[in-house]
Amino acid sequence: EAQVTQNPRYLITVTGKKLTVTCSQNMNHEYMSWYRQDPGLGLRQIYYSMNVEVTDKGDVPEGYKVSRKEKRNFPLILESPSPNQTSLYFCASSLNRKGVGGYTFGSGTRLTVV
Amino acid sequence: GESVGLHLPTLSVQEGDNSIINCAYSNSASDYFIWYKQESGKGPQFIIDIRSNMDKRQGQRVTVLLNKTVKHLSLQIAATQPGDSAVYFCAENMGGKLTFGQGTILTVHP
């Protein structure tokens, strides 16, 4: 089944403790992206990747890092999480950046930083 | 107290009615538009898309209308069913960057 898999689904952590949210897709998509979803603010792009070893900042990249060492994986790294990073996070992939045919989204990771 | 912007627009309909969800987009240079559906606890799902050189596109039970003059997009759902209850987002693509609207909550009453 074609899908984007994120892990974990839920995570509660403490301020400053480094964490990684994994994202993997099995569709051989070139483009992958991370979003955060907050009430009243909709989906905002954090980082995206056009292909292996090619990443770029989205609208809200501060406090996040990403890497794209393999085509299928695009982990999101929070080196020193803070409470304002409490949010619902989605990874998405598509054939290309334009997203023709739509992006495929993962099921989300609900992160709470205390 | 409540904060402005925390409450999404809502639409309540009876099962079997047609639903129309509207979206105003911001950039006249956007050339590709997508509607997504997000059910509780799930990620957004692609519903239908439309390119800027079209003004209407139909899918199964859904129709998207694009009015570039007023930068307006609408999603029509025919014979709405309880399973259509969700948050619906429009997204515009300009130069490869996808920007999402805040969404509309659709509630379908049996």
- For residues B67 and A40, the model is more confident at B67
Q: What is the pLDDT of residues A21-53, one digit of tens each?
A: 999 999 999 999 999 999 878 899 999 999 999
Give the pLDDT confidence score for residue A96 in this predicted structure.
79
Query: Mean pLDDT lowest for which of A75-89, B20-34, B85-99?
Result: B85-99
Residue B99 confidence (pLDDT): 86
Cα–Cα distances in angstroms (integers) from residue B98 to residues A8, A38, B33, B68, in the given order: 25, 17, 9, 17
Question: Rounded to whole angstroms, how far apart are CA atoms B30 and B97?
Answer: 9
Task: Give the closest of A42, A97, A106 to B102, CB-based.
Answer: A42
Could you give phi then psi for residue A51, rounded to 5 degrees?
-175, 180
Chain B partners within 8 Å of A7 (Cβ): none
Radius of gyration for the alpha carbons in chain B, expressed in angstroms and rounded: 14
For position B93, what pLDDT does the model report?
84
**Widest Cα–Cα separation across chain A:** 39
Residue B84, helix vs strand vs coil = helix
- Tell me phi and psi for residue B35, to 5 degrees: -110, 135
From the CB of residue B51, how many other CB atoms can be counted at a distance below 10 Å? 12
Give A63-82 pLDDT, tens digit per residue: 999 999 999 999 999 999 99
Tokens of A61: 């990249």
Shortest distance, CA B61 to any CA of chain A (angstroms): 18
The arithmetic mean of pLDDT across residues B29-36, rounded, is: 92
Buried b (16+ CB within 10 A) or exposed e, A35-47: bbbeeeebbbbbb
Asked if the Cβ–Cβ distance from A108 to B101 is below 8 Å, we say no
Q: Name chain B contacts of A103, Cβ cutoff 8 Å.
A: 34, 44, 46, 98
Q: Are B44 and A43 in contact (CB under 8 A)?
A: yes
Task: Give the pLDDT score at A29.
Answer: 94
Beta strands of A29-78 (E only): which ranges?
31-38, 42-51, 54-57, 65-66, 76-78
DSSP state of B95: T
In eight-state DSSP terms, residue A3 is: -
